[in-house]
Amino acid sequence: MKLQGAVIKEQGITFAVVIVKKQVVDSTAGSRDAISNFTRCFPGMPLVLMAQDGRGIPTYRGRKDIINFLSNTPLSAIPWKEYSIN
């Protein structure tokens, strides 16, 4: 399985952001399942999910402090890359 994500180190915290579909971010159970699955690719890191609406506006699910940081960060500044989960 391939996914789009990023690993970011900011203010002494290394965390991961993974792009998912909007319905995953909107669902508590879906978000919990996605985070559980993606932690295999990003062990030991807090993980935040990100989805965009039809206008490209991001919505996040995860740790509040990381969401606050990401909410003030342009998507173009995030170092996105493709990861594989086996």
Distance separating alpha carbons of residues 42 and 13, to the nearest angstrom? 13
Q: Is 90 exceeded by the pLDDT of residue 78? A: yes
**Measured at the alpha carbon of residue 61, what is the angle toward residues 60 and 65, in degrees to the nearest 5?**
85
Query: Alpha carbon of 4 to those of 32, 83, 84, 85: distances in Å?
Result: 18, 6, 9, 11
User: pTM of the entire structure?
Assistant: 0.92
Where residue 42 sits, what CATH number does that domain have?
A: 3.40.1350
Q: Which helix (H) or strand (E) holds 34?
A: helix 28-38
**pLDDT tens digits for range 5-64:** 999 999 899 999 999 999 999 999 999 999 999 988 999 999 999 999 999 999 999 999
- Apex 84 CA angle, 71 and 50, nearest 5: 15
Q: Read off the pLDDT band of 67 (50, 70, 90).
A: very high
Task: Write out the residue range of the structural domain in which residue 76 sits.
Answer: 2-84
Counted domains in the chain: 1
